Chains A and B, each alone.
Chain A
Amino acid sequence: MNLVAATGRGTLATIREVGKISIFAAKGAFAWLSGPMYWRALGSAALRIGFNSLPVVGLTAIFTGAALALNIWDGSLRFNAETFLPQILGVSITRELGPVLAALMISGRSSSAMAAELGAMRVSEQIDAMRTLDVDPFKYLVSPRVLAATLMLPLLVLVADIIGIYGGYLVAVHLLDFAGPVYIRNIADFLTRDDIVSGLIKAGVFGFLLSIMGCYYGYTSRGGAEGVGSATRAAVVASAVLILASNYLMTSLFVHV
């Protein structure tokens, strides 16, 4: 009986939490439409999420591209298909690894930062203070972050795609004796617009999800330093899980099995 009751309570709590996050996400997505838009807050969030994340995204992409080239070459040797390395690498990076790995890195970097920042503001009453100053904290703190992450992730992923392919190029040309122009031409000829666009759409969705998680857990955090720590941890875990789950959902939509 206790097990049934505990399961019921757990289910209800989960439904309640999902409901709260959904309402928060809807507000985050549309609050800026009713104005005012705080352009300075948007610019600052875009700079932190976008430009300041370039080094970490670039490093992730170049090493992933390089390791992927080695793996594809090693695997494809088994059925004499190593000449397809550039094509396979190009598709893998643009459709899957570029968006997913960049989003996971940004989740660790920015989603956690959003949760910590808003959490600290919550526990030090800065969010309450904002309300008393006739500024809606949701529009000033949440909307700009959500909008910035949704817009910046596709740009970061575009950069990650280029750097990832370049990482593969370095390995293919300098270690595996591919001719540079052939590597580039094979990728350029093989990749379709859909390969790139589907990755960028995924990136926009990932940006939205990771910023919502960061803002939600920070904005609703309670209980001092420990609460802020829990909010940060929950934001990173939830955004990583949502990125991977939504990646599968979107891939299944794009691939039309």
Chain B
Amino acid sequence: MTEGAAKITIRDLEISFGANHVLRGVDLDLNAGKSLVVIGASGSGKSVLLKCILGILRPDRGSIVLDGENILRMSERQRMRKTAQIGMLFQGAALFDSLKVWENVAFRLLYGERKATKIARRRAIECLGKVGLAPEVGELFPSALSGGMQKRVALARAIAAGPDVLFFDEPTTGLDPITADVINSLIIEQVRALGATAISITHDMISARKIADEVAMIHEGRIVWRGSASDLDTTDNPMVRQFVEGRADGPIKMKMRKT
């Protein structure tokens, strides 16, 4: 897909869990080849938004158009095939404990595309190299890796099949600043190398400024602001200001029980 064409278009997306209305009409457009970072307070619906696009959660209403096709009108199987073009790095890495690192990276090739073990292994080692990990790491189990290495393996797994859309769910959470910067650099490098369209979710403003072409802020299930990464420091939107400055006082109120 050429850069600039609409890759993902979301309209009026709503989802509730019981009485909890998490998304209340999200509208979002993202052009091919762009990197969008979604910021917002915990519980504002960021991860739910990604899971709706991935087909893991079924929205109550609205539309999600990926490459011109509304995935919510597809059957389960068609939706799985369509969203398989999206690579995802999960917040906790979500590596399969019972498989070696290389098998994690090659999982889709081995079990989704039924590639020969030799080919899948070679590709896994290649992807581990792209995120700066030695081939020997492939023989370890995920439990033997540090948090930063697990994130790198998860990134290698996300890019292994050469997806044209990449999602990153809090890629730097729980990492020290140096490792977080390494992950940010790897994200930029791999998104560029693949020419992919990316959506990242983060609370980490350093990460947001580094990896974003554009930033959107979600609050109470709606997109309340959108601008370029440089606009983050100049906007007078009070919610963005409060979030960027990390202040407890402001229009975003944390729900606290009164004593």
Q: Which residue of A lies closest to B96 (CB)?
A: A126
Residues in A123-151 with C-beta less than 8 Å from chain B? 124-126, 128-136, 140
Which residues of A are found within 8 Å of B107, using beta-carbon distances? 130, 133, 135
Report B-chain residues with C-beta under 8 Å of the C-beta of A135. Answer: 107-108, 111-112
Nearest B residue to A117, CB-CB: B98
A190 within 8 A of B: no
**Taking each of A38, A131, A140, which has the highest tally of chain B beta carbons within 10 Å of its own beta carbon?**
A131
**Bound CA span A38–B86, Å:** 23
On whether the beta carbons of A125 and B157 are closer than 8 Å, the reply is no
Q: Which of B84, B92, B97, B113 contacts A125 (CB 8 A)?
A: B92
Compute how far the CA of A133 lies from the CA of B83 in the bound complex, rounded to whole angstroms.
Answer: 9
Query: Given known contacts A124-B92, A125-B90, A126-B94, is B84 in contact with A132 (CB within 8 Å)?
Result: yes
Q: How far is the CA of A130 from the CA of B55 in the complex (A)?
A: 12
Residue of A nearest to B111 (CB): A135
Contact A129 B111 (CB under 8 A): no
Alpha-carbon distance A254/B123, docked complex (angstroms)? 56
- Name the interface residues of B88-117: CB closer than 8 Å to any CB of A: 88, 90-92, 94-97, 107-108, 111-114
A188 and B56 alpha carbons, distance in the complex (Å):
57
Question: How many angstroms between the C-alpha atoms of A87 and B97 in the bound complex?
Answer: 49
Q: Is B80 an interface residue (CB 8 A)?
A: yes
Q: Mark B172-216, 1 if CB is under 8 A from A, else 0.
A: 000000000000000000000000000000000000000000000
B-chain residues with CB within 8 Å of residue A131 when the two chains form the complex:
54-56, 80
Is A75 engaged at the interface, CB distance under 8 Å to the other chain?
no
B51 at the binding interface (Cβ < 8 Å): yes
B87 at the interface (CB under 8 A from A): yes
| Closest Cβ–Cβ distance, residue A225 to chain B (whole Å) | 14
Residue of B nearest to A133 (CB): B108
When distances are taken between beta carbons in the complex, the residues of chain B under 8 Å from A121 are 96
Bound form: Cα–Cα A121–B94 in Å = 8
Q: Collect the chain A residues with CB atoms within 8 Å of residue B157's CB.
A: 133
Tell me the complex Cα distance, A120–B80, Å: 23
Query: Which residues 49-98 in B have Cβ within 8 Å of A in the complex?
Result: 51, 54-56, 80-81, 83-84, 86-88, 90-92, 94-97
The answer to whether the Cβ of A43 comes within 8 Å of any Cβ in the partner chain is no
Q: Does A180 contact B (CB under 8 A)?
A: no
Taking CB atoms, residues of chain A closer than 8 Å to B83 are 132
CB distance from B89 to the nearest CB of A (A): 9
Beyond A38-B111, A125-B91, A140-B111, whether A132 also contacts B96 by CB under 8 A is no
Given the known interface contacts A38-B111, A126-B96, A140-B111, the answer about A134 and B84 at a Cβ–Cβ threshold of 8 Å is yes
Minimum CB–CB distance for B140 against chain A, Å:
17
> In the complex the two chains form, what is the Cα distance from A129 to B105 in whole Å?
12
Given known A36-B114, A135-B107, contact A129–B84 (CB-CB < 8 A): no
Which residues of B are found within 8 Å of A134, using beta-carbon distances? 80-81, 84, 108, 112-113, 161
Task: Tell me the B residues contacting A by CB distance below 8 Å.
Answer: 51, 54-56, 80-81, 83-84, 86-88, 90-92, 94-97, 107-108, 111-114, 157, 161
Given A132-B83, A133-B111, 4 additional A-B pairs, CB 8 A: A124-B92, A128-B90, A132-B56, A133-B108
Closest 10 CB pairs of A and B: A134-B112, A134-B84, A133-B108, A129-B94, A125-B94, A132-B88, A135-B111, A125-B90, A135-B112, A128-B56
24 A–B contacts, CB within 8 A, in A order: A36-B114, A121-B96, A124-B92, A125-B94, A126-B96, A128-B51, A131-B54, A132-B56, A132-B83, A132-B87, A132-B88, A133-B107, A133-B108, A133-B111, A133-B112, A133-B157, A134-B80, A134-B113, A134-B161, A135-B107, A135-B108, A135-B112, A136-B80, A140-B111
